[in-house]
Amino acid sequence: MSPVRVEVTATDGAARTGRVHTARGTYPLPAFMPVGTRGAVKALDSADLEALDVEVVLANTYHLMLRPGVDVVARLGGLHRFTGWGRHTLTDSGGYQVHSLRPAVDDDGVSFASVYDGATVRLTPESAVEAQGLIGADIQMVLDVCATLPATPEVLRVAVDRTAAWAGRARRHHRQLEARPEGQAIFGIVQGGTDPRLREESARRTVELDFDGYGIGGLSVGEPRAAMLEALAATVPLLPADRPRYLMGVGDPIGLMEAVALGVDQFDCVGPTRMARHGSMLTSSGRLNLRNAVHATDDQPLDPSCACSTCARWSKGYLRHLLGVGEPTAWRLLSIHNLAYVLDLMAEARAAIAEGTLAALRARTTEVWGG
C-alpha cells in the first residue's frame, strides 16, 4: 500500500485542490516547493521557511552525495535533523544536474566528473535509491534521462526507454531497501520531450510500475510554452488521480497557472530565489528591476499589496542600497519576498479552484505577466 494519498476537496475543470497525505503528515495542493539544493534554500534558513509557511522543501541528491556525502547526512540524523527542518522534504535524484554536465550515459547508469574536485562519480538507478534512502527525505525521485531540447526522435526514444528501464530497477530496489526511513515514498518520472505520443507512452509505462507519485520531467528547458502545455495535456490525464502529479522545474507565474489548470499538483523551481538575488522582483504589477535608479529614493515597499515581512518593514530604496553594495542581507530579504509571491499565488489558486474561479485568476496572471 502506498504511503502517499491525494485527498481532493474541490475541482475546477481538470484543476484540483485538497491535501497530500504522507507518512510525515499532509501538505496542500497545488503546492510550490522552494529549492534547497545543498540542504538550504540559498540565503534562507529553516525559520525563514517556516515563517513563510512553506510545507515542502526540495534538496538535491547529486550535490549532497558529493558534499558533505550521504554517510555524513545519515550520521547527523538524516536530512530533517541535519537541516533543522521538520516539515516535508523531497530529494531530486540529480538526473537533471547530471544531464547538464554532459556525462557518459549507458544502459546501466551515468559517469560524470564532480563539480567540486573533478573526481569520477558513478550513478545508477540503484545507487541513487540507496543515496536518497540514507539522506532520508520523505519523497525520493528515480534517476531518469533528461534529453536536451530540441532533440531528435532517436534521442527522445532512447531517453524514454532508458528512463522506463531505470524506473523499474529503482522501484524494485526501493521496495527491498532497508536503509531508508519507514514510509519513504518514491516518485517515477515521465519523459518524452514535447512529443505527445512519447509522453503518453512514457506515462503508461511509468504508471504500470505503481509509484507513490509521478514527476513530469524534461520540460521548461527552453521549449515554447505551447509545446510544454501540449506535452502536459497528453501526460496528466494518464496519471492516477490518487497520487501527486509533480511538474519539475517550473516556477514562473503563467507556467504555474496553466499547469494547475491542467491538473498538476506540485512544482519546484530555483527561479524565484535566483531572480531575487539579482534584484528581479515578482510583484502584483509584474516584474520589478530593483537595480533601476528610479528606486534609489523610493520609500514604498516592493509591492504595497504584499504582506511578507520584507514589504512590511523595508523600502525599495533601502533594499536597492543593500543589493548595490553587495550586502548579503539583501539576498535574504529579497528571497523572502519572491517566495512569498509564489506561495501566495498557490494559495490563490487553491482558493480559486474551491470557488470555481480559476479561469479568472489565470486571466489576471496572464494580463500581469504578459502572456
The CA distances from residue 164 to 159, 177, 342, in Å, are: 8, 20, 32
Q: What angle do CA 200, 123, 127 make, to 5 degrees?
A: 90
Residues 92 and 185 in one domain: yes
Cell of 369: 505577466
Is 80 exceeded by the pLDDT of residue 96? no
Is 90 exceeded by the pLDDT of residue 272? yes
Residues 204 and 336 in one domain: no
Cell of 15: 484543476
Cell of 17: 485542490
As annotated, the active-site residues are 92, 268
Which among 85, 96, 31 is positioned nearest to 61, based on CA atoms?
A: 96
Number of structural domains the chain divides into: 2
pLDDT-derived band of residue 98, with 50, 70 and 90 as boundaries? low
Query: Taking a C-beta distance cutoff of 8 angstroms, is the pair 170, 145 a contact?
Result: no
pLDDT-derived band of residue 103, with 50, 70 and 90 as boundaries? confident
Is 80 exceeded by the pLDDT of residue 94? no
pLDDT-derived band of residue 140, with 50, 70 and 90 as boundaries? very high
Q: What angle do CA 284, 294, 329 make, to 5 degrees?
A: 70
Is 90 exceeded by the pLDDT of residue 210? yes
Mean pLDDT in residue range 114-129: 93
Residues 135 and 203 in one domain: yes
pLDDT of residue 102: 72
Average pLDDT of the chain, as a whole number: 96
The secondary structure element, H or E, covering residue 176 is helix 153-176
Is 70 exceeded by the pLDDT of residue 283? yes
CATH number for position 239: 3.20.20.105
pLDDT of residue 115: 86
Domain boundary among 269, 289, 313: 269
Residues 183 and 252 in one domain: yes
Mean pLDDT in residue range 286-293: 98
| Domain with 315 in it | 278-369
Query: Taking a C-beta distance cutoff of 8 angstroms, is the pair 27, 88 a contact?
Result: yes
Q: What is the pTM of this model?
A: 0.97
Residues 289 and 250 in one domain: no
Domain boundary among 269, 301, 321: 269
Mean pLDDT in residue range 80-99: 89
CA pseudo-torsion sign 202, 205, 206, 207 = positive
